Amino acid sequence: MSKKSWQVTLQAALKRVKKSDRSPRVAIVGIGHELCGDDAAGLHLACTLRKLAADNERLLVIEAGPVPENFCGTLRRFCPDLVVLADAAQMGMQPGTVRWLPWQETTGLSASTHTLPLHILAKYLTAELGCEVALLGIQPAQNFNETLLTPAVKDAAEATAKTLAETLRVM
C-alpha cells in the first residue's frame, strides 16, 4: 500500500491515462451491500458523487452493489481510461480511513459480500478494456447485517466523493 495520500495517487493516475487530444474518461464503481452497515461505503460514495458531478460527461458513476461484474457492458460502452473501484476494505486502520490500493495486492482469500473477487474483475477490465484499474478502499467499523453506515464511514465516503468531484471537474 502506498504511503502517499489517495489524492496524490489519483492525480498521478490521471496524468498517466491522459490522452493528448482529450481529458481522461473516468468510471467510479461503488461496490458493497447496502444492508451490511459499512460495507455500503462504496455505494454511498457513488451515490453522493453522482449528485455532485451529474454534469461531467467524462465521468461515469455506477452504483454496482455486490455484483460489479454485471456492469462490464456499461463500462465497455463508456470506454474509460481509468476505472476506480470504491469499496469497504479491511486495512487494519481507523474507521473511515481512505486509501488507494493496488488491486494486484488483493489476491488473498477473504470473506466478502461480492460474488467475484475484485482482483479478478480488475484483471478482466484491464485486459478487455485496455484501461487502468484502481481500488479506493474505505476502512469499515462494522459490517453487521441490517445496520446503517457508521458516522465515521459515512463522513469519509461523502468527503471522498466531494474531493473526487472537485478533482475530476478540473481534469
Average pLDDT over residues 14-41: 93
pLDDT at 109: 41
Domain that holds residue 155: 24-169
Q: Considering the domain boundaries, does residue 14 fall inside one?
A: no
Query: Greater confidence, 114 or 141?
Result: 141
- What whole-number percentage of the chain has pLDDT above 70? 91
- The CATH number covering residue 165 comes to 3.40.50.1450
Distance CA 146, CA 136 (A): 24
Instruction: Tell me the mean pLDDT in the region 8-35.
Output: 93
What is d(CA 32, CA 40) in angstroms, rounded to the nearest whole number? 5
First to last CA, the chain: 25
Classify residue 15: in a domain, yes or no: no
